[in-house]
Amino acid sequence: MVICLLLGAWFNLIPHLITTLYLFLSGVTFIVYWLDKHKAKNGDWRTPESTLHLFALCGGWPGAIWAQQLLRHKSTKRPFRNVFWLTVIGNLALLTCLFSSFLQPILRGLEKLNLS
């Protein structure tokens, strides 16, 4: 996915701001997973799963996938993974809507409000 974002930005198919946000949120999400893994090892207060899902839903899911694989954190817990993949689908659906003809008139209207 990160490669797709970078290629999309390179060929001006995706705004650079979107790519930057995904990369930033992925990095933050990876760090949140790493901290939660560290807390789990030390028996400290853990990051709520809903917080991890919120980061994924907002666009940090590439970093979450990377953390799940690299850190082996939250990678086998089936209920968590099911909700996680729903957040990925939700995020991609929102991203698709942003670039679809359905929302383009709304976005143009918002741009006009900001320019006025």
Give tens-digit pLDDT for 56-97.
999 999 999 999 999 988 878 899 999 999 999 999 988 888
Tokens standing for 29?
Answer: 């999400």
HSE-CB for 22 with a 13 A CA cutoff: 21
Say whether pLDDT at 25 is over 80.
yes
Say whether pLDDT at 29 is over 60.
yes
Number of Cβ within a 10 Å radius of residue 74: 18
Range of the domain at 73: 2-115
- 16 band by pLDDT with thresholds 50, 70 and 90: confident
Q: What is the pLDDT, as a whole number, of residue 68?
A: 94
Between 14 and 62, name the one with better pLDDT. 62
User: Which long-range contacts (C-beta less than 8 Å, at least 24 apart) are formed by 7-11?
Assistant: none
- 4 band by pLDDT with thresholds 50, 70 and 90: confident
The average pLDDT across 34-60 equals 94
Say whether pLDDT at 1 is over 70.
no
Q: What is the pLDDT, as a whole number, of residue 11?
A: 81
DSSP single-letter state for residue 46? P
Contact 63, 32 (CB under 8 A): no
Q: How many domains does the chain have?
A: 1
